[in-house]
Structure 1
């Protein structure tokens, strides 16, 4: 091979090979590019196919949608950021909408959750609410709660007026007002009452709108105002005393001084652990009767003389007498005394005689029981008075009202429907329960099926009756009817132990949670596809501003009334304002700021009152708008 032959390939490339080489490279590059795009499209199609299958499966199986929304929404709602969270209900609504909206907008799928499910569980929820607020609702109105009643009325009616006329002023479409009331008041049940007004035909859609769009407006108004209200009401109630130059800690101590000393945190009535004995500040010791002044005295009369020490057993030779026999003491008897440690240590031997080791006198089984107060001569009296009159052999561990623990203080007044947790011997506990017109509950064994079925039946039937006023049909509504029957049943059951006593708090709480959650999940399926239409223009800003004003201004007005007109203790007043706004987290925030449990004293009456009234006002916001 010569030099000329070596150069020929380069000559070929120079003459015509560059074109072919460039073409080859371009073909190769674009082939790879096309392949990559094809793979990407295939992956996109595969992903779309997977999501399409999932949404299609959910749309065909509403059961999956309902419980998937709850399963994800509950933990999502409990995620706390700087002490603030959505709450399980709002979390369920957000997740439900997040599923229903793309299912419709991307795949054209409707999730048809059965309306019957919504109706049934909403009525169950309303019944559970009625069972909670019923006992305190009537007794709070009847005696001792006038200031709390006025505070509740100020909050609930000013909220309605602000939202109703504010919505008119801002030219918001129908449905928004009821949603903002529900969200600003953080009472999701208002949405149920508003939806009931639509379902019953009391609300007519204006030209250019559908009833579904009105329902979507309710959900939109609720969602925006609920989130903002949940956050800012806690901050407002928590810092109200400081905003007015008041030391919250001092206010809490002043309230405690007025009522007595503080208490501990106990498990709610009929919930897990409520019957645990725990560590009690009392003991049972045995003494020989050596002092003549005790001879001839019976056990009961001695208790009235020494209310901090009760004789539970008397040992006389081979005989053992129970306190229920009310034996008369003799010289040389050995008595088992149950009392506070300091009482037994300081005064046992000096008042009775020498302490002895007699197991028979100290062999007393102690149990814990919840006594639900019925109507009796002792309601309306203080803990101190009750302890002296019916407290033989028992120790009062805790006091509950509407599922909230109150400080069990000497000057705390008990109401019908309150729950007193006591520890003592079986006979002593039963005797206390009989005097308080109640059956002590050691273990919750009540069944609620009968009362639930009867309440839903009566509430549903009564809710359908309507009255036309000014051309506008007014009906109680099935949901409000069920709440009213729950209130009445609870009222009757707390007054007559033969009716079974109050509902187990564990059962009631579950019924409330599952009822509301399933109702909200069905609502999300219905309004999810249309909710975007409710956020057009500046409507979000209007809802946010109006919702915040409606959430914060009413309790502020109530605070001013209670502080300057009624001169109420700021700690208790803060709890009353939180109760008027139906915000338990706000009440807890006030307790933290005051470093006291006393805000809980003002919470129940406004809470019970406004829980019912706000539902009526939510209904009126729909039919009158």
Structure 2
């Protein structure tokens, strides 16, 4: 590499940072069959190469700040779903993250004893084998608190990054192929057929929509009818007589425009605007009267709004029963278009169970939507509004919690900045969901904090680890990739076998849960492509929310146990 370029990167390390991000994310988009490395892994590989050839290093202050922002945003986003799943109905999925943690630690400590792995390599094997990037940060931070020389700390932290890179690559390939291809073959089920069958059960017979598709006939429609058959009947009586959910939003009677109140009695010649599910609206002519294709309808505006669910009775309630907590008139007036959980859309089907913290998109007249919003939760914060007071206090408290040290034998047990900020973010996110009058942090803003914070931290680690990377590869050779594959394979296979034969979980939900316990976005993406619909996402979001909190806390645990075993 040219001398001027080396001097540029060494003298201006922020150039090396953004070069790592740009090239890394480009590399992460390159497909290798059904697998893409993703931006995080691509950034780490790029940073390792740049660090090896240029010696560029980012300051520890930049690295620590980036990691604190990432880990707090991670906890803040996951808080509502994490606590929502800690209940009796979530027990069958709660076991998957526990299996992941126990099995990963057992495999890593076994290889640590057999191969005499140092604490850095063991921690990197754990983080990469579990494909959990946040564990890389908590492990590296834990090594920084070891009672060893600064030079040895740097070497161990470099080993964390290098071992993580190798292990992540091997673990990523393993979990993607296992959940989407190998598990269905070994357990003799057709993932696409099973997903289609489960979709029918959850939706009550609606058509399955594959990723990237949309129905040719939209589910929510509006029609204008001239009242003949419904003359003399109330709006409530007419709506109950329709073959599905629909509402008469407005009625034009001569020069008057009337709201479609449930006790309004229709008269012959009225022009009624009907909004609702397509199958209900299409069959409305026999109930109300002929559709008026050329007749201008009443002037009405319909609104779509994102609502964060916080109602105390919403947790584990099916979508079909959400009307149980609404007033009778509202039950027919608003419709749920989509559901988002942990920033991922899940099927909006009748038997889909809702959780506190879910974001539902509701559709209806503005007044009805606002009333439903006050009952179910609060509106999604505007993207430009972030409560920096709440954010700053949360980070301060998290960092202070991380400084607490508890003597355990000859060692001091501490969460560190990463663990403290994670727990603080978890609690602050939960409190925000329960009391939405403060602490606004839009999911889009939280996503930027997570992504930029993590990639900046990853780049900083990679740049500093680059010079020592080849030494670790030469020391362990092919044994490290084998250990990485087993670190991923053994926990996943244990969960698949227990889920399939003991818990009797439906195959699409089972593979989704295993991808979630591994926190693997590439795995769930390939599963959805193979399944042909989004049913596996239901279980993925549950185990993902729990594993995403518990696995980072295993970084310091691995460092401590590896030091005792080696």
Match of 1:135 among 77, 80, 83: 80
Note the C-alpha offset of 1:308.
1.3
Task: Give me the whole-angstrom Cα distance separating, in 1, the residues matched to 2:282 and 2:29.
Answer: 48
- Alpha-carbon spacing, 1:555–1:586, altered in 2? closer, same or farther (3 Å): same
- CA drift at 1:326: 5.3
**Aligned residue in 2 for 1:17:** none
| C-alpha contact 2:210 2:533 (8 A) present in aligned 1 | no
| Secondary structure at the counterpart of residue 378 of structure 2 | coil
309-318 vs 218-227, which deviates more? 309-318
Say whether 1:408 aligns with 2:348: yes
- d(CA) in 2 for partners of 1:484 and 1:305? 52
1:495 maps to: 434
Deviation of residue 593 (structure 1)? Answer: 2.5
> How does 1:46-445 map onto structure 2 within 5 Å?
51-104=2-55, 111-199=56-144, 201=145, 203-205=146-148, 210-239=152-181, 240-260=183-203, 261=206, 264=209, 280-291=218-229, 294-295=232-233, 297=234, 299=235, 303=239, 306=242, 308-323=245-260, 328-332=264-268, 333-348=270-285, 350-356=286-292, 361-386=297-322, 389=326, 390-439=330-379, 444-445=383-384
Once superposed, what is the RMSD of the aligned Cα atoms?
2.7
1:566 CA displacement: 1.0
| In 2, Cα distance between equivalents of 1:220 and 1:357 | 67
Query: Following the alignment from structure 2 to structure 1, what is the Cα–Cα distance between the partners of residues 246 and 503?
Result: 41
Q: TM-score, normalised by structure 2?
A: 0.90
Query: Aligned partners of 2:482 and 2:218: how far apart in 1?
Result: 51
What's the CA shift string for 1:259-301, capped at 9, x where partnerless?
Answer: 124565899xxxxxxxx99973333333344457853x3x467
User: Structure 1 CA distance, aligned partners of 2:90 and 2:207?
Assistant: 22
Contact map agreement 1:285 1:362 (CA 8 A) in 2: no
TM-score (norm 1): 0.82
Distance change in 2, residues 1:289/1:131 (3 Å): same
Residue matched to 1:7 = none
Alignment check: 8 A CA contact 1:290 1:353 kept = yes
Secondary structure in structure 1 of the residue aligned to 2:35: coil
Q: Which residue of 1 aligns with 2:550?
A: 613
1:622 corresponds to which of 547, 559, 566: 559
Does structure 2 conserve the Cα–Cα contact (< 8 Å) formed by 1:286 and 1:358? no
C-alpha separation between the residues in 1 aligned to 2:65 and 2:448? 15
Q: CA deviation at 1:331?
A: 2.7
Q: 1:482 aligns with which of 421, 441, 444?
A: 421
| C-alpha contact (below 8 Å) 2:208/2:533 kept by paired residues | no
Per the alignment, do residues 391 and 121 of structure 1 end up closer, same or farther by CA in structure 2, a change over 3 Å counting? farther
2: CA distance, partners of 1:439 / 1:446: 13
SS in 1 for 2:31: coil
Q: Which runs of 5+ in 2 are unaligned?
A: none
Rounded Cα–Cα distance in structure 2 between residues aligned with 1:278 and 1:452:
44
Distance 1:455 1:500, change over 3 A: closer
Contact 1:284 1:362 in 2 (8 A): no
CA distance in 2, matches of 1:336, 1:112: 66
User: Is the counterpart of residue 555 in structure 1 residue 492 in structure 2?
Assistant: yes
Deviations 1:20-67 (A, max 9, x none): xxxxxxxxxxxxxxxxxxxxxxxxxxxx8xx22221222111111211
Instruction: Report deviation, 1:313.
Output: 0.9
Name the CA distance, whole Å, in 2 between partners of 1:146 and 1:190. 24
Local SS of the residue matching 1:412: coil
2:407: which partner in 1?
A: 468
Paired residues of 1:62 and 1:113 also in contact (CA < 8 A): yes
Q: Which moved more, 1:554-563 or 1:389-398?
A: 389-398
Number of aligned residue pairs:
552
Taking the aligned partners of 1:614 and 1:211, their CA distance within structure 2 comes to 22
Higher mean alpha-carbon deviation, 491-500 vs 165-174, is at 491-500
Distance 1:359 1:496 in 2: 47
Specify whether residues 309 and 176 from structure 1 end up closer, same or farther in structure 2 by C-alpha distance, changes over 3 A only.
Answer: same
Q: Partners in 2 of 1:359 and 1:476 — Cα distance?
A: 68
CA distance in 1, matches of 2:119, 2:18: 30
